[in-house]
Each structure stands twice: as C-alpha cells, then as structure tokens.
C-alpha cells in the first residue's frame, strides 16, 4: 500500500523523442501530497508533452515516471487513468448532457453516460456536494451547450473529483475566460485546495495571472528543458521567468497573486 507521504508524481531524467525530435530533455520533478504546482512556459516548450506523461497518456522515451506509486511501462495505463482527475477545457462532449450528468460521468470515466448505467446513491450525493463546492449547483439542470466557458470549467473540475483522486491535473483551465469568470474559477480552486489538504494538483498555463494564490510550487519549461523548479515564491521571480520566456519580464506578487509585465529597465 502506498505511503500517505510518498510522492504523488515522480519524473526523473525524462526524455521524450518523437519523429527524431526531442520534445523533453532530461526533465525531472517530484510532486508530494498537498502540493500545488504550476507548469509554465512559452508555446512549444513541452508542457503538453509533460502533462501527457503525468496523466498516464504516454510513456517516456528514456527516464522514469511514477504516478501514484506506479511506474509507467510496468502498469496498465487505462486502469491508472481512472485514479487521476484530469480537467481539459477541450472536453469532447457531443450531446446536450445536463451539468449534473456531466459530473456523474466522472464516476464512469466516460464522456457520455453509458447505456443502462445508473448512479448509486453515494455517487448521486457526491455529485451534489461537488457541484455545491464549485458553486454550480443552481445550474445542475442546464445543458452543456447553454453553459458559459467558465461554468463548463467548474463542472469539469467537479467531474474530475468524482472518483476522489489524489492527483488533479488542470490543462489551462482559465483559457478563454473573461476576467470575472477567471476570478470565480481561481477562487473555487483555492477553496477546493483548502477543503482537500492532501490533494496534489498540477496546473498548466501560459499566464501568471491565471495562477491561484494557493499555488505552492512551479516548474518553468523552455524548449523541453527545465529552466527552474521549486517553491513558487522563489521560482516565479523576474530572472527565471525572463529566461523561460526569453523576454524581459518583471514579476510582482500582491495578495498572493502574481502579475507580469514587460520590464522596460532591461531593454
């Protein structure tokens, strides 16, 4: 049985090579229970490739990746994915499911409700609690096409939490949101992290303004290599972020939140 203090994620010396191109180059990171990591970098940095490893979607070319104590290459990826909460704003739902039904698909690990499947009373109760926690219980009967991008995002987080995962991966959850919807989402993430103190999360984004105040650690990725990694207050500083994005950037933090602007003094 996995120790409650064992790493949730561990990647060591990871390379990913596809069609002769190295997409990740000696990437290492360790995520422990209760840590909330930000994964940042410019387009083409390798963020999506790294996330595909952490979500047990593919294997590394070289190096080792362990997710929830299981080494990729020695475990059934499909079974492992059932224990990982994964929030992708590009959720490929084709039918007009209600918000409640979308959350319940988290119990089956499917996009649509399986034929003849009926949720157990405990699953019904959990879906209601999660919708309330994410502030969307009043929208439980609204259908997917009528929901705003921000509302969809919060339903998808509730869906990802249905199997009670120890790991939650968030792939650009604030993409396409207006300021109000972004702030509602980030507040919900902060609340979620307080209510589930052992949950580990990894959030992928291009923008520091999209990081919740509860972010504890960060990894900066550029051209498939780690520029900096560690505690957020040390990693999300002007010098390493400037190196990561190859642009003079001044970082400020106020009330727990980060912001970035071009640093004119470095021009």
Distances (CA, A) of 40 to 17, 21, 74, 193, 232: 21, 21, 29, 20, 11
E strand spans, the chain: 9-18, 21-31, 36-40, 62-67, 70-71, 84-87, 167-171, 200-205, 217-222, 225-231, 249-254, 257-262
Enter the DSSP assignment of 205. Answer: E
| Domain covering 1-83+205-267, topology | Rossmann fold (3.40.50)
**Contact by Cβ (8 Å): 12, 226:** no
- Is 0.85 topped by the overall pTM? yes
Contact, 152 vs 185, CB < 8 A?
Answer: no
Kind plus residue range of the DSSP H or E element containing 49: helix 47-54
Secondary structure element (H or E) that encloses residue 107, with its range: helix 99-108
pLDDT for the residue 39: 96
The number of C-alpha atoms within 13 Å of 112 and in the hemisphere containing its C-beta is: 7
Measured distance CA(125)–CA(122) in Å, rounded: 5
pLDDT by 10s per residue, the chain, length 267: 456 678 999 999 999 999 999 999 999 999 999 999 999 999 999 999 999 999 998 899 999 999 999 999 888 888 888 889 988 877 878 889 999 999 999 988 888 888 888 989 999 999 999 999 888 999 999 999 999 888 988 899 999 999 889 999 999 888 888 898 889 889 989 988 998 899 999 999 989 999 999 999 999 999 999 999 999 999 999 999 999 999 999 999 998 999 999 877 644
- In what helix (H) or strand (E) does residue 80 lie, and over which residues does it extend? helix 77-81
The CA-atom distances, in angstroms, between 147 and each of 112, 139, 151, 155 are 17, 8, 6, 10
pLDDT reported for residue 167: 93
pLDDT at 3: 60
According to DSSP, residue 46 is labeled S
Res 265: pLDDT: 63
Give the per-residue pLDDT at 184: 87
């Amino acid at each position: 049985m996995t120790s409650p203090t064992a790493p949730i994620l561990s990647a060591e010396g990871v390379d990913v090579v596809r069609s002769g191109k190295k997409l990740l180059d000696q990437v290492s990171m360790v995520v422990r229970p209760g840590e909330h990591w930000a994964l940042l970098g410019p387009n083409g940095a390798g963020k999506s490739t790294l996330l595909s490893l952490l979500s047990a979607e593919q294997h590394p070319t070289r190096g080792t990746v362990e997710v929830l104590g299981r080494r990729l290459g020695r475990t059934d990826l499909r079974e492992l994915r059932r224990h990982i909460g994964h929030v992708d704003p590009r959720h490929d739902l084709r039918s007009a499911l209600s918000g409640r039904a979308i959350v319940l698909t988290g119990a089956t690990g499917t996009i649509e409700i399986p034929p003849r499947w009926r949720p157990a009373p405990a699953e019904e109760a959990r879906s209601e609690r999660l919708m309330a926690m994410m502030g969307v219980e009043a929208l439980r009967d609204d259908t997917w096409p009528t929901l705003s991008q921000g509302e969809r995002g919060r339903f998808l987080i509730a869906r990802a939490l249905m199997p009670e995962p120890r790991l939650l991966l968030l792939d650009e959850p604030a993409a396409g949101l207006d300021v109000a919807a972004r702030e509602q989402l980030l507040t919900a993430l902060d609340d979620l992290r307080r209510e589930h103190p052992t949950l580990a999360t990894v959030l992928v984004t291009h923008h520091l303004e999209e990081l919740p105040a509860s972010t504890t650690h960060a990894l900066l990725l550029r051209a498939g290599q780690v520029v900096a990694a560690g505690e957020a207050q040390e990693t999300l500083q002007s010098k390493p972020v400037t190196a990561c994005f190859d642009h003079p950037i001044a970082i400020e933090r106020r009330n727990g939140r980060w912001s970035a602007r071009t640093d004119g003094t470095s021009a």
